[in-house]
Amino acid sequence: MAQVFVSVGSNTEREYYTRSALDALHQHFGALNISTVYESEAVGFSGDNFFNFVAAFNTQLSVADLSTLLKRIEDENGRCRKGPKFSGRTLDIDILTYDQLVGEHSGVQLPRGEITKNAFVLKPLADIAGDTLHPELQISYSALWQDYAEQQSLWSVEFEWQGNSLPCSVG
């Protein structure tokens, strides 16, 4: 079993699609460790604010099969892939880490570069895996967050899913 961290974001009907993502991840992977949901301004384009969170789970899927499944979940939730790379979206699910893999695996760059570049990825990752070491840098996520110097606005959002207030672990 591989331990995986994924980031999830939505800025279109974001409450609906955030819940839908959680439902799909729970359906496919069972136990989830879920960060606080954060709201952030769009990065790279002008658009509505995003809801973002990080989820951790274990899987027997390969990187390729996991990537395919996550794209299918996005597509089932109305993800449009024809627009510009930086644009609004119903759902964006990215593999951040897959165990301690480093490099390109089945077309997926691991660990994902956004971990150290975007507050909306690093903060929720530090929340649920603060003592875990970044596979390439060998620095804990909490230390990376403490040293984070970018100017990106980020604030926590009260969010409930399946009767649980996030952050939470769901079996």
Phi, psi at 157, each rounded to 5°:
-125, 135
Q: Taking the model in full, what pTM does it have?
A: 0.92
Query: Rounded distance, CA 72 to CA 77, Å?
Result: 9
Instruction: Report pLDDT digits (tens) over 108-119.
Output: 999 999 999 999
Give the start-to-end residue ranges of the domains of the chain. 2-160
Q: Which CATH superfamily is domain 2-160 in?
A: 7,8-Dihydro-6-hydroxymethylpterin-pyrophosphokinase HPPK (3.30.70.560)
Instruction: Report the distance separating Cα 26 and Cα 10, nearest Å.
Output: 18
pLDDT tens track for 7-60: 999 998 899 999 999 999 999 999 999 999 999 987 765 678 999 999 999 999
